[in-house]
């Protein structure tokens, strides 16, 4: 019989040697579960949207104005061969907008038969929050955004309210764009 070890026995020896070498290392800290979203500003509020709700982020594209639509519908833009309606969320919520055009971004929704570009004041990028810091209470500062806010995360800069684009996409006032 051969005096070579079976591969499984070799792996067991290697694992034992690794455990022996790692004895002096610090223990791994418990990793907390996080929720990730796209952060943005709208009407002076810090909001986040679930990653799955935003399919794309664009600079404000050139668009063609449409006749006989409400003032918050900016027009339609041709984005890679698809007509993307551009909706100014600040105007929809009747909020003042003093942000320079260079800073504004379009969050593209492409879900549930709704394909629309939502113009926001600023995109803050991807943000991560510990799941245990979520509160289902809608902060008082939500104001007119409250029907579309499902809760908030506490952060070092204040509350980051979770904005629900699905609720917005099913809102009759949002869907009724004709004058």
Between CA 40 and CA 55 the distance in angstroms is 14
Q: Which residue has the higher pLDDT, 152 or 44?
A: 152
**For 85-142, how does the pLDDT look when each residue is reduced to its tens digit (9 = 90+)?**
999 999 999 887 778 888 999 999 988 788 999 999 999 999 999 999 999 999 888 9
Distances (CA, A) of 133 to 36, 128, 139, 152, 161: 13, 11, 14, 8, 12
Between CA 134 and CA 73 the distance in angstroms is 33
Delineate the domains of the chain, giving CATH numbers in brackets. Answer: 34-175 (2.40.50.180)
Q: Are 91 and 97 in contact (CB under 8 A)?
A: yes
Show the DSSP H helices in the chain as ranges: 7-21, 89-92, 165-169, 172-175
End-to-end CA distance of the chain: 91
* Model confidence, pTM: 0.79
């Amino acid at each position: 019989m051969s005096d070579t070890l079976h591969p499984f026995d070799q792996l067991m020896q290697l694992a034992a040697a690794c455990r022996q070498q790692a004895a002096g290392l610090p223990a791994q800290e418990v990793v907390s579960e996080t929720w990730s979203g796209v952060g943005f500003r709208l009407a002076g509020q810090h909001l986040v949207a679930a990653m799955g709700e935003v399919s794309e982020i664009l600079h404000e594209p050139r668009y063609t104005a449409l006749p006989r639509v409400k003032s918050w519908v900016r027009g339609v833009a041709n984005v890679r061969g698809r007509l993307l309606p551009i909706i100014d969320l600040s105007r929809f919520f009747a909020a003042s907008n003093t942000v320079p055009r260079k800073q504004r971004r379009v969050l593209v929704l492409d879900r549930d038969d709704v394909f629309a570009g939502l113009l926001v004041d600023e995109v803050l990028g991807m943000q991560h929050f510990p799941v245990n810091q979520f509160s289902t209470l809608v902060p008082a500062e939500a104001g007119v955004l409250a029907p579309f806010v499902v809760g908030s995360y506490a952060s070092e800069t204040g509350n980051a309210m979770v904005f629900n684009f699905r609720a917005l996409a099913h809102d009759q006032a949002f869907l009724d764009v004709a004058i």
